[in-house]
Amino acid sequence: MKKGFYTIMSAQFFSSLADNALLVAAIELLKTGGAPSWHIPALTPMFALFYVILAPVVGAFADAEAARETRQKVERLGLKTYTQVAQTSAGSRIRVRVGPFATREDAEAALAKAKAAGLAAVVLTL
């Protein structure tokens, strides 16, 4: 593995660790600050929402086989993928997405990894 791979993986690990620490700290602040009881259950889904807001797209395909091949190529890079079918003026397209990611930095790191592998990718904010 190249040194850059380990750098990206380390950055993603520490970013996830920091996100979880923020969630724990926010919950504790709500508890000790006398916030209404519904705030804590509402906070957890809000943190989870940020994991689906940023998702790099590595392709939109009319052909299911091309979408499958691209998805496999991305997964060989160690990135989690999922697909979404979208209706366009040109017909159905299968979007291959990476992620989801909690922060733009995590999404950009995955984007760089995909581009280094020769994939045309962009980060979409949903």
Q: Is the pTM of this model over 0.85?
A: no
The token duo for 19 is 């996100």
Place of tokens 């970013």: 15
Residue type, 30: L
Name the percent of the chain lying above pLDDT 70: 78
| pLDDT value at 114 more than 70 | yes
Number of domains within the chain: 1
H or E segment and range at residue 86: strand 81-88
Question: What is the domain-level CATH number for residue 92?
Answer: 3.30.70.1070
Domain span holding position 45: 3-125
According to the model, what pLDDT value does residue 42 have?
82
Burial class (CB in 10 A: 0-12, 13-18, 19+), 33: exposed
Buried b (16+ CB within 10 A) or exposed e, 87-102: eeeeeebbbbbbbbbb
